[in-house]
Structure 1
Amino acid sequence: MLNPTIPTEFRHLCRVGQLDRPTPGLAPGYVQANLVVLPYDLAFEFLLFCLRNPKPCPILDVTDVGDPEPKLIALGADIRTDLPRYCIFRHGQLIEETTDICEFWRDDLVAFLIGCSFSFETAMLNAGLSVRHIEESKNVPMYKTSIDCLANRTFSSPLVVSMRPLTPQDAIRAVEVTSRFAKAHGSPIHIGNPEQLGITDLSCPDYGDAVTIREGEVPVFWACGVTTQTAIARAKPEFAITHAPGHMFISDWRDEMLAS
């Protein structure tokens, strides 16, 4: 299995069609990002939604209109080709998944790169904490919750969360480790009983893969950038592109650049 260790290698493999898999554990130590691409006439409304909901939607970069290069976090990259997998939406409906969006690109599009919890997983591993989906070579499990984000006139969404099981003691340590990474969703939003978030079955995530929860462990939940995809489904824009859940963009920034 291809396992690139630096961002330029990762993006090259995506660009030539040789890498199509979830990105947990790839290019460890480098910032990963969610992708949302919208027409310019919706860009301000989406920006406002993100600013009102910084926990699930921390903005790392925004491209110029019609320009696929994220100049702030990955100079020379091309968001049309440099992710492993994309989702294409029309009027809020997922119509296609693809590994290249060049044919869909338009001169009126704006791309948003949004922080991802994969960016604090190296710090968790370095602290001796378990990251179960990496251990099991899976995508992280993600769930829609009963918590509503702050809406504006165009975008609204339930909060989506990612989950990592930990012992209670390790959960406390995970709060300490991840709280430094506000631009990667920061500290957990909930520890323990998933029903308090409106989640009834951890074995059936809405996105990603179920992982093993061992005896003595509790589920730990972080805000997740896939929240933006549920916002798109509700808003039903004429056209939108996102990353496929778990198939992130890997930037040139080191994780430490997001740590406070």
Structure 2
Amino acid sequence: MSTSAELRADCAGCHGLCCVALPFTASADFAVDKAAGRPCTNLLADSRCGIHAELRDRGFAGCTVFDCFGAGQKVSQVTFGGRDWRRDGDTARSMFAVFTVMRDLHEVLWYLADALARPEAAPVHGELRGVRDEVEALTGGTPAEVAGVDVAAVRGRVGPLLARAGELVRAGVPGRRRDHRGADLAGARFKGADLRGACLRGALLIAADLRGADLRTADLLGADLRDADLRGADLTGCLFLTQPQLDAARGDGATRPPETLRRPAHW
């Protein structure tokens, strides 16, 4: 069974895979273009980032909101047994292909762990544990097996179970629960709003004003929180929130994130 630590990025145990395998385009988030499979110019020989403490100031804010959910160290140390992609081209291509799939599988495991930690979702815990064990088994395959996993099919199996778990948790919230599933709420004004138990799955909350909002037990799976203003907001107990979502938003010392996530350094 994957532990919380195993689903968190440990850059010290990774060979800088996200800095090589993934592409990015020059934009407000990335200062330059970089093709997939090409090392970032800021990547050092020891797999550390040469400008880690200055990423935002140097135009690489996109790097600060990426999280591999522990896939980097899993691929580097387990799947490939410590081998470095620098050794040869075939190893590199295989590692990069496996990394992108492993990252998706670990994200799924993060959501499953969240659902399994909710006592209210006990009626579906048995099914959740079963599919969690299956996904964990997929992450332990050979490089070829992992690279060949149909991630869409995995998400298709897990999605309905997570939805049921979320409904069971939110059902315990008194009063009317808002449903903004998939809604375009970019720039919306929710200052001080009572969003307890709201369904915000897949909602576009880009630059939304959520100052002082009560988001306890809200379902935020897949919500786009880029530049959302979470100053003073209460996110304790919210469902399926990830570190990348939180990192992409704006907050302050009064923001209350879930206990499972760290307060972003740039808040």
In our comparison, the structure showing a higher alpha carbon Rg is 2
**Does the TM-score normalized on the shorter chain lie above 0.5?**
no
More strand by share: 1
More helix by share: 2
**Structure showing greater relative contact order (alpha-carbon pairs closer than 8 Å, 6 or more residues apart):** 1
